[in-house]
Chains A and B, each alone.
Chain A
Amino acid sequence: MLREERRAAEEAITLIRPATGRLVDPDIRDEFGLETMDMNMGPQHPAMHGLLRLILELDGETIVRCDPVMGYLHRCQEKIAENRTYPAVIPLTDRLDYFANMHNEHGYCLAVEDLLGVEIPPRAEYIRVLMCELMRIASHLPSIGFLLLELGAFTPILYAFRERERIQNFFEAVTGARMMFHYIRIGGVKADLPPDIPEKIWEYVDGLEKRLEPDFIELIEGNEIFVERTRGISRLTQEEAIELGLTGPPLRCTGVDFDVRRDYPYSVYPELDFDVVTDTAGDVEASYRVRIKECYESIKIIRQCLEKMPEGEVMADVGRRVRPPEGEGFGRVEGPRGEFAVHIVSDGSDTPYRVHYRDASFVNMQLLQEKVPGHYLPDIMPIMGLVDPVSGGWDK
Chain B
Amino acid sequence: MAVTLPEGSLEERLERYLEGFRSRHGLEEARVEGNTVVLAVDPGGVPAVLATARQSLGILHLSFITVVDRQGSFELTYELLDLRGARVRVKTVLEGEEPVIDTVTGIYPTANWHEREAYDMFGVAFRGHPDLRRVYMWQDHFDHHPLLKSFEISTKRTFEGLR
Contact = CB atoms under 8 A, between A and B. Distances in A.
A17 B68 CA distance: 29
A362 B114 CA distance: 9
Interface in A338-396: 339, 341, 343, 345, 350, 353-354, 356, 358, 362-363, 365-366, 395-396
Contact of A79 (B35, B87, B139, B147): B147
A74 B63 contact: no
A300 B17 CA distance: 36
Interface of A: 17, 19-20, 70-71, 74, 76, 78-80, 83-85, 237-239, 242-245, 247, 255-256, 258, 263-264, 330, 332, 339, 341, 343, 345, 350, 353-354, 356, 358, 362-363, 365-366, 395-396
Given A245-B110, A343-B66, A343-B79, A20 B159 contact: no
Interface stretch (B23-31, B39-47, B92-100, B129-137): B129-137
B76 to A, nearest CB: 11
Contact of B113 (A256, A343, A350, A366): A366
B77 interface: yes
Interface of B: 1-3, 5, 35, 60-64, 66, 68-69, 77, 79, 81, 83-85, 87, 108-114, 117, 121, 131, 133-140, 146-147, 151, 153, 155-156, 159-160, 163
A71 B64 contact: no
A243 to B, nearest CB: 5
Contacts of B111: 245
A242 B68 contact: no
State the 10 A-B residue pairs at the shortest beta-carbon distance, nearest first. A245-B110, A358-B64, A71-B136, A356-B66, A74-B136, A258-B83, A243-B109, A238-B3, A83-B159, A354-B68
Which applies to chain B's interface (DSSP): helix, strand, loop or mixed? loop
A238 B61 CA distance: 12
A139 B161 CA distance: 37
A330 B77 CA distance: 12
A242 B84 contact: no
Contacts of B79: 330, 341, 343
Contact of A341 (B1, B64, B135, B159): B64
Given A78-B121, A263-B84, A358 B63 contact: yes
Contacts of A239: 1, 3
B112 A366 contact: yes
Given A19-B133, A85-B163, A363 B66 contact: no
A17 B131 contact: yes
Contact of A350 (B1, B112, B131, B163): B163
Given A74-B137, A80-B153, A354-B147, 10 more contacts: A71-B137, A237-B1, A238-B1, A245-B61, A255-B2, A264-B81, A341-B63, A362-B113, A363-B110, A366-B110
Contacts, number: 100
Contact of A343 (B77, B110, B133): B77
22 contacts: A70-B136, A71-B135, A74-B137, A76-B146, A78-B121, A78-B147, A83-B159, A244-B110, A245-B61, A245-B62, A245-B63, A245-B108, A263-B83, A264-B81, A341-B63, A343-B66, A354-B66, A354-B69, A356-B66, A362-B113, A365-B113, A396-B136
A339 B68 contact: no
A76 B142 CA distance: 15
Contact of A19 (B77, B108, B139): B139
Contacts of A330: 79
A84 B62 contact: no
Residue from the set A83, A245, A258, A358 with the largest chain B CB neighbour count within 10 Å: A245
B113 A83 contact: no
Nearest to A357: B64
B84 A83 contact: no
A238 B136 contact: no
A20 B64 contact: no
Contacts of B113: 362-363, 365-366
A320 B139 CA distance: 42
A238 B111 CA distance: 18
Contacts of A258: 5, 61, 83
Contacts of A85: 163
Contacts of B68: 345, 353-354
